[in-house]
Structure 1
Amino acid sequence: MSDMLGSALSGLNTYQRALATTSHNIANANTDGYSRQTVTMNTRNPQQLGPLTLGSGVQLSSVQRAYDQYAVVQQRSTTASFAQQDTLHSLSGRIDTLLSDSDQGLSPAMSKFYDSIQAASTDPSSLAARRELLATSSTLTARFQGIDAELSSINDETNARISASVTEINGLSKRIADLNLSISRTVGQGGKPNDLLDQRDTAVLELNQIVRVSTLEQKDGTMSLFVGNGQPLVLGTQQNTLALTGNRFDPTRAEVSFSGQGEITSALEGGSLGGILAFRDDVLTPTRNQLGLLANQLASAFNDQHAQGTDLRGDVGGDLFSIAAIEPQASSANTGTAALSVTATNTFALTGDAYVLSQTDTGWQLRNTTNKQVVSLSGDGSAANPLSADGFSMVVTGSAARNDEFLIAPTGLSAKTVAVAITDPAKIAAAANDANAGPGDNRNMLAMAGLENKKVLVNGTATLSDGVQSMLGKVAATTRSSQVGAAAQQTLLTQATARRDDVSGVNLDEEAANILRFQQAYQASAQVASVANSLFQTIINAFN
C-alpha cells in the first residue's frame, strides 16, 4: 500500500513542478530574451521484491531552457552590424542634407558669387555691381563658415555620443560580471540558472547594440567578453572598464581607452559606437578637410588673380579673401622641446588631408592620415632648409625626442576663417595691370570669371565646382551605401531573431496543451493517492 501511495505522491510533486514551469513560461511569454523552459521526467529507482521488479513512481530530473547557441550568436552579430550601419546612415544623412540644401548649401552661394563676377565684368566701373560682388563674396564666405560651424556642432555631438556609449558599455559589463557571479554560484551548487542565463544573454545582446563583442563561455558557467583586438572587457566575475580620454593632438576629440592601458578607438567596431566612429573617421573629418581645401583654394585662386589687376584708383589689387595661417598641434605625449611652424608654399598642391610628423631613429617621417602612406620629405627642418611636402614647409626649432609627433592640417582652419579682405568696392581690381587700363577695363575681372572653369584644385586636377560636387558625391555615396547596408542587416537580423524565437520563444497554444496534460496527470495522481489512502484505512479498520 505504501508503494502505491509513494508513486502517487511522486506524481503529485512532479506534475506540480511541471505546472509551475508551464505557468512560468506563460507569465514570461512577452519578456524580451526569455527562453522557454521544459521539464524532463524519468522513473524513480524500482524496488526489487524477490523475482519481481516494481516501479516506484516518477521524478523530475531537470528543467532545461530551449536554447540554440548558434542562433543566439548570429542574432548578436547581426545586431551589431545593423546598429553600426543604421547609425552611420542616420549621421551621414544629416551632412548630406546640410551640403546639398538647395538654398543653404555651398553650390547656390558659389553660383551667385560667379554670377556677380560676370555682372561686374560687364560694367567694371559700376560701384553698384562692385558692391554686389562684395555682398555675394561675403555670403559665400559666411556659407563656408556656417557649414563648418554645423560640422563642428555635429563633431561635438559625436563626442557626447561616444561618452554616453562608454558609460553604457561599462554599466552593461558590470551587470554581466555580476550575473556571472550569481550563475557560477548556482552552477557550483549543481543548479540550472535558466533565468539568470537569459538575463545575461539579453545584456550581451544590448551590449552588441553599442559595440561588437566576442564571447567565450567557461566551465563554471561564466562568460568572458572581449572587444576591439581581443581586449578582455569581462573575465569571469571581473570587469575591466573603458575610459573616455582626449586625443593626443586635440583634447576635445573623444577617444576610448581600455583600463588605462592605452587608446583602442581604432580597434572598436560594430554597434552604434562603431557607426559613430566610422562616421567621424570616414565622413565627418574628410568632409571638413575637403570643405577647408575648397575655401583655401578658392581664396588662393582669386587672390592670385586679383593681385594681377588694378582697382579704380590704379592701385595693384590686394587680397580679395583672407584665411588663417596653418596651426600645427603637438602631441600631449611629446617629451622633447621641439616646436613646429608650418607655411603653405604652394596652396594649389595642398591635398586637404591631415598629416602626422614623427621623429624616428632615422629622422623625421611624414604620414598622411587619410591613406596611411608615408610622404616623401625634402629638407632638414631648419629655417634655411625646411622640411617640405605636398605644398607646405615645416621649420623645427628646439630639440625633438624620439617618437615626438605633430599633427598638421594645412586647410583645417580655412573654412572656419575664410573672409572677405576688402570692404571698399573701389578696391576691386577689375582692370588689367598695364598702361592701357582705365576705369572701364574689365580684363582682370574676366580672368577672375574664368576661374569658374579653371582646374585649380590639387595641382590643377579639378575645378572648384568639381571639388564641391566631389565632396557632395562622397557623402551621398556613403549615405546611400549605409542605407543599403542597414536594410540588408535589418533583414538578416529579422531572420536571426525569428530563428532564435522559433527555438526559444513561448508558444501559448503549446503551453495551454501542457497545462491540460499536466493537470490531468496531477488529478490522476491525486486520485491514486486517494484510493491508496482508502485501501489503507480499510486494512486498519479490519484490525480494530
Structure 2
Amino acid sequence: MSFSLYDIANSGVRANSELLQTTSKNIANVNTAGYVRERTEFSTMIDNQVGRGETYRLLNEFAQKQLNRDTSNKAFFDQFVTEASRVDSLFSEESNSLSTSINSFFNNVQESLNQPSSTVARSLVMTDAQNLIDQMDRLSSIVVDQQTVVNEQLEIFSDEANNLIQSISELNSKIAAVHGTDRESASSGLYNERDKAIRDLSELIDVETLNGNNGEKQVYLGSGQALVMESGTFNLFSFTGDPDPSFRELHLDVNGGKAVPLEVDVSKLKGKIGGLLSFRDDILVPAQNQLGQMGLALADAFNQQNHLGMDADGNLGGDIFKIPTVDAFAYQANTGNGSITASVEAGKGNELPASDFIVKYSGTNEVEIYPVDNKGETIKDANGDEIFTTAVVDPATGKVNSQNNPNLDLFGLELTLDMSSLPNIDDQFMVKLNSQASTSLELATNRPEDIALASPIRTANDINNTGTASISAGTVSDVSNFTDTPSLQLPTGSLTLTKSAENPDMYTLSDGTNTTAPFAIDSSGKNVIQQAETAGVLDDITTLTAEQVGFDFDIEGTPALGDSFTIEANEDGFDDNRNGQFLADIQNSNIVRQNVVGNASNNHLTLNKAYTSLVSDIGVVTNQAQTNGAAFTALAEQSEAWYESLSGVNLDEEAANLLRFQQSYAASAQVLATARSVFDTLLSAAR
C-alpha cells in the first residue's frame, strides 16, 4: 500500500511540476512577440501513474490565417493612405494649383489684346508662360520624387521579405528535423518563430499557407505563386524595370536564378508592397501622364494658333513652346538594335490621351501602336479586344504620322524610326511621351514680339459700295503657302470679290491679273473661297485648293450690282488683335482628350476642367482608401483580439493556474511525505 501511495505521490509531483513549468513559461513570455500560449495535459492515471504529459501550443489555424489576411489588408491601406495623403494635400494646395497659373497666363493674353502693340503687355504673357511651365514642372517633380521614394521603399521591403522567406525556409528544415520526435514539444520556439516570420511577411505581402510534410509550412502569395516550398526551396522577390528601368516591376526568382522570373499580378497584391505599387499605379502614373498631356495639349494648341497669326515684326508667328521629342524604351527581349523617338504631331495635341504606348514593329515598314493603362497593360474595348492602330512607316524618312496615315487614330503621336538600323519583326518599344514631357516643356522663344496677336489678312468693303452687304474679318486655317519676306503676302496676292450680275446673283474673284468665271454664292454667304472651289472656278486664279489657300471669309447682307470686297495682307497691322482672340479662346477650348476610345469633341475637356478632374480623382481615390483602411483596421483589430483570446497569454488566467498547480504540487508533496512516513513505519516494525 505504501509503495502504491509513494508511486501516486511521485507521479503527482512530476505532473504538477510540468504544469508549473508550462505556466511559468507562459508568464515569462507574456511580452514576447509571436509567442503562442502552451498547455500541458495528462492522460488518466493507470497503474498508480499519471499518464505521460503532452505540451502543445494553443493555436487555432483558422484564426491565425484570418489574422494574416487582415494584417495584409490593413498594411496595404495604411501604406497607400500614407503615401496618397501626401500627394493629395500637395495637389489640393492652392499655391500649387496649376489652374491658377493657367488662369494667370490667359488673363495676360486677354490683357495684351487691349494693347496689341505694347511690348510690356506681351512681356507679361511670356513671363506667365514661363511661370506656367515652372508650375507644371514643380507638380511633376512632386510626382517624380514620390516615384523615387516608392522605388527606394520597394527595395527595402523586398529585402525584408526575402530575408523572411529565407528564414521561414530554414525554420521549416529545423522543424522537420524534430517533428515526430521526443524533442518536438521542447521545440515550440521554432514554431513560434516561424509563425511570427509568416505574420511579419503578411505585413509586406499577402500570403496563404498550407501544411506540408513533417510539420513544414508551404507559403504562397495570395495570387497563387509559391514563396516557400517543400524541401527547403523558396522563391525570392526582385524588382526590375523592363523596358523603363525607373518603373520597377515585381518578379519572383527561384533562388540562384535557376528559373525564368515569374511576373506577378500586382493588382492582387496586398501588404505594404502591394500598397506601394497600387499607389504608384493608381495615383502617381496617371497624375504624371495627365500633367504631361495637359502641357502638350496647351503647347501644341498655342503654337498652332500662333502660326496662324502675325507677330510684332510683321512676320508669320512661330512656336512659343518647345515640344519635346523623347526616346522610346526598348524591351530587353528585342532581338534587333532599332530605336524609335516620339513627339506630338503638330496640330494633333488634342488627340493625345493620358497614357503610355507600346509600339510594335509588326512588319516591314509597319508598326502597331497600343495605348496602355497605368499598369502597363494594353487597353481593351468593350468586347475585350485590344485597342491598337496599324500604321505605315515612311521608308524615306522613317516617320509615322497623319501625312502618310490619313484617317487613322495615331493618338496624336509622330514616331520616327532609325531607318539605318530597323528593329526586327515583333520588337517592341515603350513610349512615355506624357510622363517625360511633364518635366521637359520649355519656351521656344523669350521675345515678346513673337506672340502673333494680329491676323495675317484683313478685309474691307469698297468705299463706293451701295448695297447693305459687308465682308467678315476672315479666318485663317493654314499659312503653309503664305510668305513673310519682305512683307506678308497672300498665296494669290490680294483678292477682290465683285457682284457681277443679278437674277441670279453671281460673283467673280480676281487677284488683279486673273478673274474667275461668274459663280453663285448661296444665301448663307459662308465660306466664299470654298464655294468658289465647289463651283469649279477657283482654279481660274490659283493652282491651290481652298484648303491650301488657307483662309476664307463670309458675305453678310445684300450687295448691290458692282459692289466689291477686298482681302489682302495685313501689312503694318500691329494694332490688330484678331489672332490674339483665338489665342485667348484656347483656355475655354476642349483640347484635352479624356479616353482612349473615341476622339470626338465630347471626349475632350478644357485645361481647367482636366486639372480639376485630376485633383478630384486623387482626392476620391485617397478618400476611398481612407474609408477602406478604417474598415480593415477594425477587422484586423477584431482578428487580433480573437487570435489573442485563443493563443495569447492571459496573466489573470495564468496566475490562477499557477496558484492551482502550486497547491496541487504541495498536496502531492504532502502525500509523498506521508507515503515516506508510512514506509519508514513499516520498516521500523519489521526490525
Indicate whether the TM-score tops 0.5. yes
Q: Give per-residue Cα distances to partners, 1:89-123, cap 9 Å, x unaligned.
A: 22222222222220122122112112212222222
Work out which of the residue numbers 182, 186, 205 in structure 1 matches 2:199. Answer: 205
Higher relative contact order (CA 8 A, sep 6+): 1
Counterpart-to-counterpart distance in 1, 2:414 and 2:316: 28
Counterpart-to-counterpart distance in 1, 2:222 and 2:193: 24
Flag the structure with higher helix content: 1
8 A Cα contact 1:248 1:333, kept in partner = no
Q: Are 2:170 and 1:178 equivalent residues in the alignment?
A: yes
8 A Cα contact 1:89 1:483, kept in partner = yes
TM-score (norm 1): 0.93
1:379–1:535: structure 2 CA closer, same or farther, 3 Å change rule? closer
Q: Are 2:432 and 1:404 equivalent residues in the alignment?
A: no
Q: Are 2:248 and 1:246 equivalent residues in the alignment?
A: no
Pick which of 150-159 and 206-215 moved more: 150-159
1:101–1:265: structure 2 CA closer, same or farther, 3 Å change rule? farther
What residue identity is the alignment partner of 1:266? D
Give the corresponding residue for 1:501: 644
1:297–1:117: structure 2 CA closer, same or farther, 3 Å change rule? same
Q: Give per-residue Cα distances to partners, 1:451-477, cap 9 Å, x unaligned.
A: 111111225421111111121122111
- Please state how far the C-alpha of 1:317 moved relative to its aligned partner: 1.5
Give the corresponding residue for 2:302: 302
What residue identity is the alignment partner of 1:59? G
Q: For 1:35-434, what aligned pairs fall within 5 Å after superposition?
A: 35-46=36-47, 56-190=48-182, 191-192=184-185, 193-227=187-221, 229-259=223-253, 260=257, 261-267=260-266, 269-345=269-345, 346-359=348-361, 364-370=367-373, 372-373=379-380, 374-383=386-395, 386=400, 389-396=410-417, 397=419, 398-434=421-457
- Please state how far the C-alpha of 1:489 moved relative to its aligned partner: 0.7
Give the corresponding residue for 1:52: none
Q: Give per-residue Cα distances to partners, 1:389-446, cap 9 Å, x unaligned.
A: 2222445434544542111223232221112222122222222222456332222222
What residue identity is the alignment partner of 2:250? V
Unaligned runs of 5+ in 2: 381-385, 458-568, 594-598
What residue identity is the alignment partner of 2:583? M
Pick which of 3-12 and 323-332 moved more: 323-332
Counterpart-to-counterpart distance in 1, 2:674 and 2:316: 120
Q: Give per-residue Cα distances to partners, 1:141-193, cap 9 Å, x unaligned.
A: 01111222221111111111111111001111111112212222221314234
Q: Are 2:512 and 1:511 equivalent residues in the alignment?
A: no
- Please state how far the C-alpha of 1:275 moved relative to its aligned partner: 0.8
Deviating beyond 6 angstroms after TM superposition, the runs of 4 or more aligned structure 1 residues are: none
Unaligned runs of 5+ in 1: 47-55
Q: For 1:16-27, what aligned pairs fall within 5 Å after superposition?
A: 16-27=17-28
Counterpart-to-counterpart distance in 2, 1:272 and 1:415: 28
- Please state how far the C-alpha of 1:333 moved relative to its aligned partner: 1.8
Counterpart-to-counterpart distance in 1, 2:359 and 2:174: 51
Counterpart-to-counterpart distance in 1, 2:114 and 2:282: 44
- Please state how far the C-alpha of 1:322 moved relative to its aligned partner: 1.0
What residue identity is the alignment partner of 1:247? G
Pick which of 248-257 and 289-298 moved more: 248-257
Number of corresponding residues: 535
Q: For 1:467-478, what aligned pairs fall within 5 Å after superposition?
A: 467-478=610-621
- Please state how far the C-alpha of 1:33 moved relative to its aligned partner: 2.5
What residue identity is the alignment partner of 1:504? S
Counterpart-to-counterpart distance in 2, 1:13 and 1:517: 15
8 A Cα contact 1:326 1:342, kept in partner = yes
8 A Cα contact 1:341 1:394, kept in partner = yes
1:251–1:228: structure 2 CA closer, same or farther, 3 Å change rule? farther
8 A Cα contact 1:241 1:258, kept in partner = yes
- Please state how far the C-alpha of 1:343 moved relative to its aligned partner: 4.7
Pick which of 152-161 and 117-126 moved more: 117-126
Q: Give per-residue Cα distances to partners, 1:12-51, cap 9 Å, x unaligned.
A: 11101101111111112222332221121223422xxxxx
Give the corresponding residue for 1:481: 624
Identity among equivalent pairs (%): 29
What residue identity is the alignment partner of 2:358? V
What residue identity is the alignment partner of 1:142? D
8 A Cα contact 2:300 2:323, kept in partner = no
Counterpart-to-counterpart distance in 2, 1:281 and 1:91: 12
Counterpart-to-counterpart distance in 2, 1:445 and 1:365: 39
Give the corresponding residue for 1:452: 587
Larger radius of gyration: 2
1:361–1:214: structure 2 CA closer, same or farther, 3 Å change rule? farther
Work out which of the residue numbers 516, 525, 538 in structure 1 matches 2:668. Answer: 525
8 A Cα contact 1:109 1:139, kept in partner = yes
Counterpart-to-counterpart distance in 2, 1:381 and 1:266: 34
Pick which of 530-539 and 379-388 moved more: 379-388
8 A Cα contact 1:382 1:395, kept in partner = no
Counterpart-to-counterpart distance in 2, 1:228 and 1:4: 58
Q: Give per-residue Cα distances to partners, 1:464-507, cap 9 Å, x unaligned.
A: 11111121122111111111111111011111111111111222
Counterpart-to-counterpart distance in 1, 2:264 and 2:155: 12
1:219–1:262: structure 2 CA closer, same or farther, 3 Å change rule? closer
Secondary structure in 1 matching 2:56: strand
What residue identity is the alignment partner of 1:183? I
Give the corresponding residue for 1:51: none
Counterpart-to-counterpart distance in 1, 2:369 and 2:582: 37
1:300–1:361: structure 2 CA closer, same or farther, 3 Å change rule? closer
Counterpart-to-counterpart distance in 2, 1:232 and 1:512: 43
Secondary structure in 2 matching 1:103: helix
Quote the RMSD (CA, aligned, Å): 2.2
What residue identity is the alignment partner of 2:42? M
